[in-house]
Amino acid sequence: MVKKGPVSKLAEELKEKEAEVQELKGLMLRKAAEFDNARKRWEKERESVKRYVTAVVVEDLLEVWDNFERALEVEYDGTVESFKKGIEIIFSQFRQALARHEVERYSCLGEDFDPARAEALGYSETSDESPGKVVKELKKGFMLGQTVLRPAQVIVSKESKRDESQEVNPEQQGG
């Protein structure tokens, strides 16, 4: 029997470790490929769901489209009231279609400014309202369930900056 020296023992252990490393590298590459394939599959499924949901919403809106087309094809009889009534009916149908999909319009007018629900487009100095109140609404906001789709666009009150040096005292007017 040939005795193995410490060097040959170490060389054998090194070969075993290298084989183990190669095996682990192969496993890692297979797992990375599996993960990448799963990610691609999830992305494809997400896109499919998105297309389906969009199709459901658009399908409801196509009725509104059809009614707008019909309204535009009707000959104008000279009365604004009948035209307005037709538009009101179509608008009501549009609101109902959005409501079926939990889309609701909201107003912030008179409320404290909430940056999560509104976008301040400007400020208005006023002594009538306390600072930070929504005093004008340029566009109403829309929500899908509890998620803000479009924040309301508003004007917010701020404290009036009165320049006391320019204020005129009635006694100083010479009266």
Domains of the chain: 13-101 (3.90.20.20), 103-161 (2.30.22.10)
Q: Are the CB atoms for 151 and 107 separated by under 8 Å?
A: no
**Residue 129: pLDDT above 90?**
no
**Residue 16: pLDDT above 70?**
yes
Residue range 144-163: mean pLDDT, rounded: 88
Whole-model pTM? 0.61
Hey, what are 67's tokens? 């009614």
Mean predicted lDDT score pLDDT of the chain = 87
Distance (Å, whole) CA 41 – CA 160: 58
3-state secondary structure of 102: coil
CA dihedral 18, 20, 22, 28 (to 10 degrees): -140
Distance (Å, whole) CA 93 – CA 67: 9
pLDDT for residue 109: 93
Task: Please state, for a pLDDT cut of 70, what percent of the chain lies above it.
Answer: 90
pLDDT band at 165 (very low <50, low <70, confident <90, very high): very low
Residue range 129-144: mean pLDDT, rounded: 92
Q: Which has the closest alpha carbon to 151: 119, 109, 104, 106?
A: 119
**Residue 39: pLDDT above 70?**
yes
**Residue 106: pLDDT above 80?**
yes
Region for 20 from its dihedrals, namely left if φ exceeds 0, alpha if ψ lies in -120 to 50, beta otherwise:
alpha
Hey, what are 124's tokens? 């208005």
Q: Are the CB atoms for 108 and 118 separated by under 8 Å?
A: yes
Distance (Å, whole) CA 91 – CA 84: 10
pLDDT for residue 166: 47
**Residue 164: pLDDT above 60?**
no
Report pLDDT digits (tens) over 54-102: 898 899 899 999 988 888 888 777 788 888 888 899 999 999 999 999 9
